[in-house]
A and B are shown apart, each in its own frame.
Chain A
Amino acid sequence: MLLIGENLNVMVKRIGQAMKDRDPQPIQELAAAEAEAGVDYIDVNLGPARKGGEELMAWVVKTVQEVVDLPLYLDTTNVKAIEAGLKVYKNKQGKAVVNSIMCRPERMEAQIPLVTRYDAGMVALLWGPEGMPRDAAERGVLATEILQRAAEAGVAGEDIWVDPIITPLSVQQNQLLECNQFMSELDMIAEVLAPGCKSTCGLSNVSNGAPDHLRPILNQTYMIMLAKLGMRSCIVDAFDKDLQDIARGKRPDVDALVHQVMDRNEPDLGSLDKEAQHYVKTGKVLLGHSLYSDSWLEL
């Protein structure tokens, strides 16, 4: 599982201020710390960046690349700012990735040419003209369309990262099942249109709305599920050590437990220690075997 650090975000107060003041130090420190923590990519999130987005993105990309060689995700809804970032980006250890391109005709027309012009990668965000897809089939339709357009424009499969859109468990339990279903079909869809295509997601969205202290186990368990379904990368907190251990395959015991739940073959709870019980319970609630409530670990 590849990890993309999400911490360099305009919404983080210190970073937002540094971006505004063009103060390189906090930004470079954070980028270096993310690299040190072991992520594979760094997401540079400017938010909407409506005013002065172009100049800001160019500056942030240069600033970050002065201290780290990791490839970057360029994350803003301002199309021109993305282009400004791509213009100054230097490919040291990998291509920059445009995060993201929605499956809306005007967006795809404007942004896919940038990907080929600057030899970048792209996140194909499955958000259509009518908004959020309602089920696996609608995700499939949107994926087919954007993959086809990207392939026609000459984007290689390996440069496309499909984002199926993860919804919060606490309000959209069934949507997660649809997302899982789509993930299990993505390789088949991509095989013809964009062989080798990758995938990514905003993992922590799954735990949005859940009690703060319970968010890590939700993120971890869902990442294991997604990995089994073929997910190639997750945008995550670069400093979440436990999550990283799991992503790096250092917790085969936890992987095995979650896989057993997915195969409807989980061990008897009574035979497990507390931690293992928690992973099994979390797996079951993520798969809709039981209805979500904030107290799911206590039942």
Chain B
Amino acid sequence: MALEIPKMSYNGVIKEIPLGKEANPVIVGGETSYPFYLFEGEMPHPPKIAMEVYDAPPEEWAQAALEPFADVINDPAAWAQKCVSSYGAEMVALQLASTDPNAQDNSGEHAVEVTKKVAAAIDVPLIVLGSNNLEKDTEVLKMVAEACAEERLILGPVTEGNYKALGAASLAYHHTIAAGTPIDINQAKQLNILLGNLGVPDERIMVDPTVASLGYGLEYCYSVMERDRMAALTQEDERLQFPIVCNLAKEVWKTKEAKLTEQEAPLLGDPLKRGVLLEAMTALLLLLAGGDILIMRHPDAVQLVRGFMDDLMAN
């Protein structure tokens, strides 16, 4: 008797979300099976890689991360262009890190100006992320949403504390939301429900589950994403059938292991490769957990992950 490989049966589908310019949208989502289980279902839109750009020259970055962008760190628009034209970024993620009141505390006007310049410089979808300061993000992202009305941005993190203000702004000015919750599947579902109640249509919602770096709690994020996809695909949990955004690079590159120099940590190996490998491994695991958009930093890490993804999709 021939061996019959058991197959999982799914009853849910991840929603397809069109991102970016209306004429030339990039679609994410649409999965009908667990990630890369192509023998059980389809991934009509393979996961996408968004590359990071910062709104002000980064401080305290590891040499390895700084090197590829040394010529553009003072010019976010040029930085974004470089990500797209030199490294093939499918999206750009603008980190408004300098608006953080605990950093430079740059104004909403500054954020608007940078966002407009970056948006004008690229054709690919633009993700705009706050500094994770609830009050400042609410103020800054609201201004950005309004000032960039026709850009169809992806705005995040939109949280339980500011979903009304940012949900309404996204609705009014046609942006998409990255709904952020702190590694908690129940809260992720709840926020999606609240956004729905507010009138945000499903095709404008994505989930940002909060992710960590390899070695710093990644396994918890993995479990939450896994549970998210189980509920979405096998329990018909309609409020979890959304693509997942993983804002991973800033987590990886702030770890001690990614930043230590060779003199500081001679046993940890070549510092130019170390951070790249940490980033690539983290991204890879998040891909396997169900990530649809990976927000990454280093071009070499991007290339490694892309190669891996191509292999998985070739089956």
Contact = CB atoms under 8 A, between A and B. Distances in A.
A241 interface: no
A289 B231 CA distance: 9
A292 B193 contact: no
What class of interface size applies to chain A in its complex with B?
10 to 19
Contacts of A30: none
B193 A293 contact: yes
Contacts of A293: 186-187, 189-190, 193, 239
Interface in A162-196: 170-171, 173
Nearest to B184: A171
B153 to A, nearest CB: 27
A81 to B, nearest CB: 38
A294 to B, nearest CB: 5
Contact of A295 (B184, B193, B237, B240): B193
B185 interface: yes
B193 A291 contact: no
The B contact surface, by secondary structure, is: helix
Nearest to B187: A293
B115 to A, nearest CB: 32
A289 B193 contact: no
Contacts of A291: 185-186, 189, 227, 231, 235, 237, 240
Contacts of B194: 295
B186 A170 contact: yes
Contacts of B193: 293, 295, 298-299
A298 B197 CA distance: 10
B200 to A, nearest CB: 15
Nearest to A209: B186
Contact of B235 (A171, A289, A298, A299): A289
Contacts of B227: 291
Nearest to A173: B186
Interface string A269-299: 0000000000000000000011111110011
A174 B36 CA distance: 26
Contacts of A290: 231, 235, 237
A171 B181 CA distance: 14
Interface string B225-240: 0010001000101011
A292 B186 contact: yes
A170 B184 CA distance: 10
Nearest to A172: B186
Contacts of B185: 291
A70 B187 CA distance: 43
A172 to B, nearest CB: 10
A70 B237 CA distance: 48
B188 to A, nearest CB: 8
Contacts of B235: 289-291
Interface in B234-255: 235, 237, 239-240
Contacts of A295: 190, 193-194, 197
Contacts of B184: 171
Nearest to B240: A291
Contacts of A294: 186, 190
Contacts of B197: 295, 298
B290 to A, nearest CB: 15
A286 to B, nearest CB: 13
Nearest to B191: A293
A114 B199 CA distance: 62
A52 B240 CA distance: 53
Contacts of B239: 293, 299
Interface string B150-192: 0000000000000000000000000000000000111101100
Nearest to A210: B186
A191 to B, nearest CB: 36
A295 B198 CA distance: 14
Interface string B187-227: 10110011001000000000000000000000000000001
30 contacts: A171-B184, A171-B186, A173-B186, A289-B235, A290-B231, A290-B235, A290-B237, A291-B185, A291-B186, A291-B189, A291-B227, A291-B231, A291-B237, A291-B240, A292-B186, A292-B189, A293-B186, A293-B187, A293-B189, A293-B190, A293-B239, A294-B186, A294-B190, A295-B190, A295-B193, A295-B194, A298-B193, A298-B197, A299-B193, A299-B239
Interface of A: 170-171, 173, 289-295, 298-299
Given A292-B189, A298-B197, 14 more contacts: A171-B184, A173-B186, A290-B231, A290-B235, A291-B237, A293-B189, A293-B190, A293-B193, A294-B186, A295-B190, A295-B194, A298-B193, A299-B193, A299-B239
Identify the 9 closest CB pairs spanning chains A and B, nearest first: A293-B189, A293-B190, A291-B231, A295-B193, A292-B186, A294-B190, A291-B237, A293-B186, A291-B189
